[in-house]
Structure 1
Amino acid sequence: MSKENFAKVRRTWLGLLNMVLAMSSMTAVTGGAKADVRIAESDVFYERGLGLCGSEILRGTTLEVVQFLLLMGQYLQGTQKSVQAWTVHGLAVKAALQLGLHSRNASKSFSTLEQEMRKRTWYGCVVLDRTLSMTFGRPAAIPDNYVKLDLPSKRDFDESSALVNDKTTFLSLTFFNSTITLYKQLWNVLDLLYGQNIGCDDPLPTTEVISNIFSMEQWLFSWERSLDPNLQLISTFQLDSMPRDPITSSFEYYSWKFRVILSLRYLNLRVLLHRPVLVKFIAASRSQNRDPQDLKLLQQMGMNSMQICIESAMEVIGIVHGVVSEPGWKHSLLGAWWFSLYYTFNAALVIIGAVWVYRDKSLSTTPITAQAKEAEKYPGLAAEALSKLDDGNRLVDRCRYYLEQFNAVLVSSEPDANGAIPPFPSLNSARGTLPPADFGLSPFGMELGEFMMDDDLVAMIDRQGILSMEPGSAYHP
């Protein structure tokens, strides 16, 4: 570019470069800059890229434009502009379909390099589509039967560079493919257990819920066994065994980073998979007309599922807390901060609901297990993790505030000496003072995310009962 004095550089290519720089600035953690500083820096690149490609994004006629829209959608998700993120993602999907990125036949006339670029871009659309459907609680834009291409493959054009060697490049591709196959199951979970977030179906019977969960657990087990040895899932215990001195090998560093990210994606999906059983327990706790037979079935078959849900949520919080508490190179092992925030916040809310179920003697046929007692400390641990996740980030601080309030309700409502617990609380009467005025952002990345006032989250939870976890949406906590 310098040699040509920018004279022969396409505007869309230059716009894409600026969007890469915007994403890099937004997600950087090694420099120690506060979130507001990084957001201001990244916004310069974002506005510059939008200025270069603004007239092209509605046409969507080139591969670069689709790539630009994909990065733009992720960037907007990180700046809490959820309405815009969802709209931009729709443009990316429509442009990808228009270009035939989903079609093997449409790509036949292109070179091997271009075929692979088109395939990887299409799978980028698919992965982001599943992610947004999960986090926003909305129907996916790409049906699963549209996803028929072979997985991305290693080719001769994946050359090594001064920064990343061939071995690391191949590991990155393997990591991408592992995410694609994992999110294939995310589609199945959203489809079978959450009605694709459409919100029109009646709640599934308990037997059908547990049957679906069992079959998908088998698939997840097979997926985990198929992972590359350098991408094996990690536990909080293994975090402690990581080397403390800085790692000089890029392959070893990225192997650790990919393992951490892939583990969080897997654990979050497992929480999502087993959460419908918790929903049923909570619904039973608030029902005046319980079905005794259904409750008995739930108690016999659902407790194991709820334990798995709690274990997975605890591992999510444990991993995030373990990473953000480490100095040096380990602190950069998480992915983009907004995904770590979502995983942690969601896991903490699930644990709060599960602990409440265990305390209700009319729901649980067994005394509070050691696991359930241990889980009680994790909402507080999650709040502590968020305090270290991203310094100066108002959205993270707001979510941390709400977790502290929820945890205060949980602690203040512990069983008395006779084992009795108070009624399910109203948060409006237990939450204490309002959050500071600068917490102007909602912890929800939904269409109401930019407009909720301080009272709205609490009011919504009070209307539905804390942690109502509506079965019609994968996101609603």
Structure 2
Amino acid sequence: MATITAMPGGARADARISESDVFYQRGLGLCGSEILRGTTLEVVQFLLLMGQYLQGTQKSVQAWTVHGLAVKAALQLGLHSRNASKSFPPLEQETRKRTWYGCVVLDRTLSMTFGRPSSIPDYYVRLELPSKRDFEKSSAFVDDETSYLSVSFFNSTITLYKQLWNILDLLYGQNIGCDTPLSVSETVAHIFSMEQHLFTWERSLHPSLQLVSTTILNQMPLDQTFPSPQYFSWKFRVILTLRYLNLRVLLHRPVLVKFIAASRYPDRDPQDLKILQQIGMNSMQIVTESAMEIIDIVSRVVLEPGWKQTFNAAVVLIGAVWVYRDTALCNTSMTAQAKKVQQYPARAVMALSKLDHGNRLIDRCRYSLEQFNKMLVDPGKFPFQNGS
């Protein structure tokens, strides 16, 4: 994990992946016979690391399979159960709890990323959140303040991803693919409710974990020392902000999809279209602003000098430009917004080009965005524009 996630700017991604695979194969050789047994906490932790590693190497089939083994082993050991853990010493109780929440967070991440049903239903997640205990000793690398902040960061991610579960449940049918599509009014009602939950989550954040913006980042001093509580605070804030913005894009994207569907068919229902235009434009505004903010933050981190050393957001913006150009759907006041949004796919391409080198997934994303961006420059290449 340390090798493959090493900070870009040194070895190329393909070289890091090749080097890290040596350690992965060694680990698999040493622990392979224990995986199917799943009878110890250490096996679950090993499987979690494997799942995270495989996700980072774009081996989605293997990542999903290994994650399934981790969840089954965790359930077998009762990591999800307060009663099953109460006989253990406090330190092991906390370790079991954190390992269980590691399974939960990875489950939500993989479900969102791969578009598959979750392996852990939300009603299985009943344990209290992890806590910083007196038995945890500070180390030379991480001081007590950073250790406490790390637990708060983990908890903020857990509670945010509970909202991710709700979004996947209410708007995406848990990726099962059997539900009847929601009406515009139903979709907007769910979105409004979820926005209130996200607002409550944001207000609950620890002061050192408050969300950031590109404006705040531009004011940040570039001489943050590593390691220090200030360094980790900024790092955690940026990560939480990107996760939050990604959820807002996921939350409001169904409205964008409905606008795109309306632009493709000339025989669209006038009444349905009227409702969409009346109550859907706010979601269009939020989804485009969130996507632009993601690209701005990533660009700030990977492009600006002085920093130590996105595809989904850009695709959403391309869809938004498509909708904004349909004057039958959007009024002329959206023209300025369309011009602003149109600049961002190229900005995303530039950010991806600096994000990592030799990473095949990033290279494919960048190439696809380049092709989409060419279509934006030449609107005649849109295959479905205005129902054609």
TM-score (norm 1): 0.79
Is 1:183 the counterpart of 2:161? The answer is yes
Is 1:38 the counterpart of 2:4? The answer is no
Contact 2:54 2:60 survives alignment (8 Å): yes
- Of 169, 174, 199, 1:196 maps to 174
Task: Report the residue type matching 2:156 in the other structure.
Answer: S
TM-score (norm 2): 0.97
SS at match of 1:158: coil
Contact 2:117 2:176 survives alignment (8 Å): yes
* Moved beyond 4 Å, runs of 4+: none
2:365, 2:308 → 1: CA distance? 20
1:28, 1:48 → 2: CA distance? 19
Give the structure 2 partner of residue 381 of structure 1: 347
Residues 319-370 of structure 1 deviation map (CA, whole Å, 9 limit, x = unaligned): 0111001345x344xxxxxxxxxxx100000000011101001111343243
Give the structure 2 partner of residue 269 of structure 1: 247
SS at match of 1:213: helix
- Of 371, 383, 388, 1:425 maps to 383
Task: Report the residue type matching 2:378 in the other structure.
Answer: S
1:389, 1:60 → 2: CA distance? 37
SS at match of 2:328: coil
1:281, 1:300 → 2: CA distance? 12
Give ranges in structure 1 of 5+ residues lacking alignment.
1-22, 333-343, 414-421, 428-464, 466-477
Contact 2:79 2:96 survives alignment (8 Å): yes
Q: How does 1:42-191 map to 2 (within 5 A)?
A: 42-191=20-169
Residues 38-74 of structure 1 deviation map (CA, whole Å, 9 limit, x = unaligned): 1122111101110110000011000000000001011
Give the structure 1 partner of residue 319 of structure 2: 353
1:411, 1:168 → 2: CA distance? 47
Give the structure 2 partner of residue 365 of structure 1: 331
CA displacement at 1:98 relative to structure 2:
0.3
Contact 1:171 1:255 survives alignment (8 Å): yes
- Which of the pair is proportionally richer in helix? 2
Contact 2:13 2:359 survives alignment (8 Å): yes
- Of 260, 271, 281, 2:259 maps to 281
CA displacement at 1:425 relative to structure 2:
2.2
2:335, 2:233 → 1: CA distance? 36
Q: 1:50 to 1:392 in 2, by over 3 A?
A: same
CA displacement at 1:193 relative to structure 2:
0.3
SS at match of 1:55: helix
1:198, 1:285 → 2: CA distance? 26
Give the structure 2 partner of residue 296 of structure 1: 274
Is 1:390 the counterpart of 2:356? The answer is yes
Give the structure 2 partner of residue 7 of structure 1: none
State the Cα RMSD in Å. 1.5
2:7, 2:238 → 1: CA distance? 16
CA displacement at 1:249 relative to structure 2:
5.2
Contact 2:80 2:126 survives alignment (8 Å): yes
Contact 1:230 1:255 survives alignment (8 Å): yes
Residues 121-145 of structure 1 deviation map (CA, whole Å, 9 limit, x = unaligned): 0000000000000000000000000
Task: Report the residue type matching 2:212 in the other structure.
Answer: I
CA displacement at 1:31 relative to structure 2:
6.2
1:372, 1:262 → 2: CA distance? 28
Contact 2:295 2:313 survives alignment (8 Å): yes
Give the structure 2 partner of residue 225 of structure 1: 203
Residues 286-341 of structure 1 deviation map (CA, whole Å, 9 limit, x = unaligned): 1242110010000000001110000000000110111001345x344xxxxxxxxx
Among the aligned pairs, what percent are the same residue? Answer: 75
Give ranges in structure 2 of 5+ residues lacking alignment.
none
2:226, 2:294 → 1: CA distance? 27
- Of 191, 194, 205, 2:183 maps to 205
1:29, 1:249 → 2: CA distance? 15
Give the structure 1 partner of residue 371 of structure 2: 405
2:327, 2:335 → 1: CA distance? 12
1:301, 1:331 → 2: CA distance? 43
Contact 1:325 1:331 survives alignment (8 Å): no
Count of aligned positions: 386
1:81, 1:243 → 2: CA distance? 38
CA displacement at 1:247 relative to structure 2:
2.0
